[in-house]
Amino acid sequence: MTKTLVIEAPAKINLMLDIKEKRSDGYHELETIMHQIDLVDRIYIKKDSRISVNSNSQEIPNDSSNLAYKAAQLILQTYGCGEGADIFIEKNIPVGAGLAGGSTDAAAVLKGINILYNYDISHENLAHISARIGSDVPFCLQGNPRIMMDEALEKESLKAKNKNGITGATCVARGRGELLTPLQTRFMPWILLVKPDFQLSTAEVYGKFKMENVHIIPDLNAFIKAWEIYDIIELSHYCENVLETVSAILYPEIMQIKENLEALGAVKATMSGSGPAVFGIFSQPEDALKAQQVMKQSYSETYLVSSYGRGD
């Protein structure tokens, strides 16, 4: 029987995003806080003689333009001896939303193939490969996602893999996004995510960014201080994203969603990454539940989520 490894691939939100400068290589020098949430894709991986990618979504490609395919190609070419992988993506994370859906699938494929083929590649070497796939992939490699295997025999060794608990990551990311400083694990229970009915291209949003349009400069140090003392209300005040100066101007609906979430009781609502997904942080469960009901009427892609993993 062919074993199937199943690994969760959590989405991320950018709790804060600042751009320091445009670099000579065309990328933007970032200072951002990335945080994994419990909106997950599930990646099913089987050993095979060639690489194939399939999914339950019409919105993602099945060829080498899929980051999961690229990840499989890179790891198998570098560490394999001609083997392949049969990959199925159960897509739950909205596509083109600023939630790193493609990047997290790629990171899960790297982790999954490493386990399935017993390559024993160090985290450092996986991180090196991940940076070649995309700027968000190194972050997505952080944390300990849930991993399952469909054969009883493997259960014991997987228990070992999951032994540190299922934990999500939070990091300060600098450089292109690949230079990571992990922050302490903090659990935010009430995050309402709203994705309007359009997608944005990351390259286009960054391409239109102009420093002179930024009027609120995110305060990383104040955010980290509030994070360390676990003051969710205080840290929410520092959730700012300078890319809103592009995306929310192109699509005023983004600003409208932010205003709606805050009117419904969010301590703060901010766009994630290059957008258009917006998250609202709530301190009161009843506000979050009510806001979910209201936003769902206008936006089918409304998700009430929390931070990924509680160490369980």
Residues annotated as catalytic are 12, 136
**CA torsion 185→186→190→193, rounded to 10°?**
-50
| Shortest distance, position 80 Cβ to ligand C5P, whole Å | 24
CA angle 38, 257, 305 (to 5 degrees): 15
CB of 30 to ligand C5P, least distance (A): 5
**Which one of 27, 132, 162, 289 is in contact with ligand C5P (CB under 6 A)?**
27
- Smallest gap, in angstroms, from Cβ of residue 129 to ligand C5P? 14
Provide, rounded to whole angstroms, the least separation between the CB of residue 100 and ligand C5P: 9
- Binder to ligand C5P among 12, 28, 42, 111 (CB under 6 A)? 28
**CB atoms near residue 252 (< 10 Å):** 9
Residue span 195-214 as binding mask against ligand C5P, x where in contact by CB under 6 A, dash where not:
-------xx--x--------
Stretch near ligand C5P under the rule CB under 6 A, chosen from 41-49, 90-98, 132-140, 156-164 = 132-140
Residues in contact with ligand C5P, counted by CB under 6 A, come to a total of 11
Bridge partner residues of 84 (DSSP): 48
Q: Which range touches ligand C5P (CB under 6 A), out of 42-50, 133-141, 143-151, 156-164?
A: 133-141
104: Cα within 13 Å, side-chain hemisphere:
35
Residue 103 CB burial class (10 angstroms; 0-12, 13-18, ≥19): buried
Q: Can you tell me which of 36, 66, 104, 135 binds ligand C5P, judged by CB under 6 A? A: 135
Helices vs. strands in the chain: H and E counts, helices first: 11, 11
Number of C-beta neighbours around residue 57 at 10 A? 16
Exposure class string for 180-218: b at 16+ Cβ within 10 A, else e = beebeebebebbbbbbbeeebebeebbeebeeeebeeeb
Burial 123-149 (b: 16+ CB within 10 A, else e): eebbbebbbebbbbbbbbbbbbbbbbb
Contact criterion met (CB below 8 Å) for 299 and 306: no
Exposure string for 279-290, b = 16+ CB within 10 A, e = fewer: bbbbeeeebbee
Interacting positions 237-266 with ligand C5P (CB under 6 A) = none
Indicate the residue among 149 and 242 with the shorter CB distance to ligand C5P.
242
Q: Which is nearer to ligand C5P, 159 or 210 (CB)?
A: 210
Q: Annotate each residue in 29-68 with x if it binds ligand C5P (CB under 6 A) or - if it does not, as one string.
A: -x--------------------------------------
The residue whose two tokens read 């258009």 is: 276
Contact window for ligand C5P (CB under 6 A) among 71-79, 131-139, 147-155, 246-254: 131-139
> What residues between 158 and 197 interact with ligand C5P by CB under 6 A?
176-177
Does position 225 bind ligand C5P by CB under 6 A? no
Least Å distance, CB 187 to ligand C5P, is: 28
Contacts of 198 (CB under 8 A, 6+ apart): 251, 276
Q: Which is nearer to ligand C5P, 69 or 206 (CB)?
A: 206
User: Which residues contact ligand C5P (rule: CB under 6 A)?
Assistant: 27-28, 30, 134-136, 176-177, 202-203, 206
